[in-house]
């Protein structure tokens, strides 16, 4: 599974317009093949500028390539195409995530108790008969 994180930044004079367009685009968008989830968020800063984050999870990189229309993942992200004049910057990251259904449950961690002490050991743990 791939986690794709897109951050975008807008100065105060463009932030409201950008938010409106992005919200409308997301409301009309259909879930692309190979995408598991999508979350969009907005952060307003004290100076009126704003940051936006769009986090999606995908089956694999091929699904992302199909959605963006090629292998260039550095070009303007699909969600922001045509809005470049409103953006002050953006960045895109991709993370490999484990398929949690394939992971085995970890062994429970516990403390073993023992009354035996190692010769010459006088640590508090040893005196208490606890072995880690």
User: Do 130 and 114 contact (CB within 8 A), yes or no?
Assistant: yes
Residue 100 is predicted with a pLDDT of: 65
Give domain status of residue 132, yes or no.
no
Give domain status of residue 92, yes or no.
yes
Cα dist from 109 to 11, 32, 106, 117, whole Å: 50, 41, 9, 22
Model pTM? Answer: 0.70
Summarised one tens digit per residue, pLDDT across range 1-30 is 999 999 999 999 999 899 899 889 888 988
Give domain status of residue 125, yes or no.
no
* Residue 41, domain CATH: 3.30.70.100
Summarised one tens digit per residue, pLDDT across range 35-64 is 999 998 999 999 999 999 999 999 999 999
Handedness of CA 115, 120, 122, 126 (dihedral sign): negative
User: How many separate domains does the chain show?
Assistant: 1
Give domain status of residue 105, yes or no.
no
Domain that holds residue 85: 2-98
Give domain status of residue 77, yes or no.
yes
pLDDT, averaged across the chain:
81
Closest among 53, 28, 50 to 38, alpha carbons compared = 53
């Amino acid at each position: 599974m791939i986690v794709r994180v897109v951050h975008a930044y807008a100065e105060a004079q463009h932030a409201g317009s950008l938010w409106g367009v992005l919200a409308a685009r997301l409301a009309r968008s259909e879930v692309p093949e190979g995408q598991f989830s999508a979350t969009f968020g907005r952060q307003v800063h004290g100076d009126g500028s704003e940051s936006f984050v769009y986090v999606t999870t995908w089956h694999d990189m091929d699904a992302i390539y199909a959605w963006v229309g090629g292998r260039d993942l550095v070009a303007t992200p699909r969600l922001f195409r045509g809005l470049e004049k409103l953006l002050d910057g953006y960045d895109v990251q991709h993370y490999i995530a484990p398929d949690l259904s394939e992971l085995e449950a970890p062994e429970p961690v516990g403390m073993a108790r023992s009354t035996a002490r190692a010769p010459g050991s006088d640590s508090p743990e040893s005196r208490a008969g606890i072995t880690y």
